[in-house]
Each structure stands twice: as C-alpha cells, then as structure tokens.
C-alpha cells in the first residue's frame, strides 16, 4: 500500500521515532528560514516553523502527489526566556552548553499536520535540568561533533544523557517528536501506525 504520509524533516531522530511508532512514510527535507520574527516568543516561533515545514513539503511534492498528509516538527531550547537554535559552530555550541550548565531550561517541540486543506498543531514543553558541566566535559562533548545539528547544542538520547539530572515532561518531545501528540494529530487525518487495525475508537 502506498503511504499517504510525508515527514517534513531533515532530522534522522524524528524519522527513527516515527518509524519506531509503526508509521510508514516518505521523507522530504524542506529548507525554511528559521529566523525569529520581531516580537515573536519561542512558543510561537516553534509552532510557526513546524507548520512552515509541512507547507514547504507539500509545495515540494506538488498537487499530483499521492501523498496528502504532511507532518512537520520543530524544537526550541529556551533558557532564561531566550530561544537557542542550532549552534553555528563549536564556539557557539560551547557557549550554549555553558549557559545550560547547572540550571533548568525548557524544551519546546511543536508538531503540525497538514491534510485536505486542514491543519492542526500541538506544542509540548518539557523542563530539563543539567548538572554543572566542567570546561573539560564541554570540550570533549563538542569534540564528538554531536552538538552541531541539535537545538540547544545537545542530544538527550546521545552522550548528553549524562548531563541530565532531572526531566519533567516528554522525553520524546526533548528528542524532537512527542509521540503521543503525533499519534493524536495523525489520527485526525486518518493516518495510523501499521500495527493499529483502525477500529472505530470511542
């Protein structure tokens, strides 16, 4: 059966989580301008970018595509009210990790679904507390190159797991795709995991 679902993401982590949940999908890697607009708060930015990715994927595939459900997601790390995107390089990654060291920050992940001229979004906010990070630990972590394509400069499912003292919220949301919320949104578009027999749910 031909899949109806497109994941609009360059993230291998989101693809792995969606596949783990049992979905079949195609991947399109849209490029969108992730610049924060004047006066925009981190939550609004995250939701806007997630929907922009879904819309961009739809435009890339065009009206003749058999795929008609588009899933976009975006993650923002927020510390002291400031949104941290992906680091521009090693110095930027080190500066982000110094800011996160020994304190609690927020991780916001938005999921957006576009189908049949309809759209819906959800956003999940989690709180993550880091231990104090020594300069040696930051240097060694950055030398692994793991931080460079991650919001906030770290991957909770990777080596940075050792930094985490506490997490309140969605682990999968911090990874980049809150699974429960994704399932709920895709169900509205009549898209289900392959293992789900799609019985009418009350």
Instruction: Note the pLDDT tens digit of each residue in 98-147.
Output: 999 999 999 999 999 999 989 999 999 999 999 999 999 999 999 999 99
Q: Where are the domains of the chain?
A: 5-188
Q: Is the pLDDT of residue 202 over 70?
A: no
Q: Which fold has domain 5-188?
A: Maf protein (3.90.950)
Cα 193–Cα 198–Cα 199 angle in degrees, nearest 5: 150
Instruction: Note the pLDDT tens digit of each residue in 182-200.
Output: 999 999 999 999 998 765 5
Query: 75, 132, 64, 71: which is closest to 106 by C-alpha?
Result: 75
Catalytically annotated residue among 33, 41, 68, 74: 74
Instruction: Note the pLDDT tens digit of each residue in 11-51.
Output: 999 999 999 999 999 999 998 998 999 999 999 999 999 99
> Active site includes 33?
no
Beta strands in 26-181 (DSSP E): 26-28, 69-79, 82-84, 104-115, 118-130, 164-168
Confidence (pTM): 0.91
């Amino acid at each position: 059966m031909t899949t109806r679902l497109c994941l609009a993401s360059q993230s291998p982590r989101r693809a792995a989580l969606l596949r783990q949940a049992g979905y079949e999908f195609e991947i399109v890697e849209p490029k969108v301008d992730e610049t924060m607009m004047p006066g925009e708060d981190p939550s609004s930015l995250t939701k806007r970018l997630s929907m922009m990715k879904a819309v961009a994927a739809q435009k890339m595939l065009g009206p003749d595509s058999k795929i008609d459900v588009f899933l976009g997601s975006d993650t923002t790390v927020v510390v002291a009210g400031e949104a941290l995107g992906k680091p521009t390089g090693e110095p930027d990654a080190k500066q982000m990790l110094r800011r996160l060291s020994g304190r609690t920050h927020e991780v916001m992940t938005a999921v957006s679904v576009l189908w049949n001229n309809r759209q819906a979004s959800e956003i999940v906010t989690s709180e993550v507390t880091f231990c104090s990070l020594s300069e040696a630990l930051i240097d060694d972590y950055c030398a692994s190159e793991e931080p460079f394509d991650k919001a906030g400069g770290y991957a909770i499912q990777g080596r940075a797991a050792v930094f985490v003292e506490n997490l309140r919220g969605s682990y999968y949301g911090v990874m980049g795709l809150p699974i429960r919320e994704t399932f709920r949104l895709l169900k509205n578009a009549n898209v289900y995991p392959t293992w789900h027999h799609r019985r009418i749910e009350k």
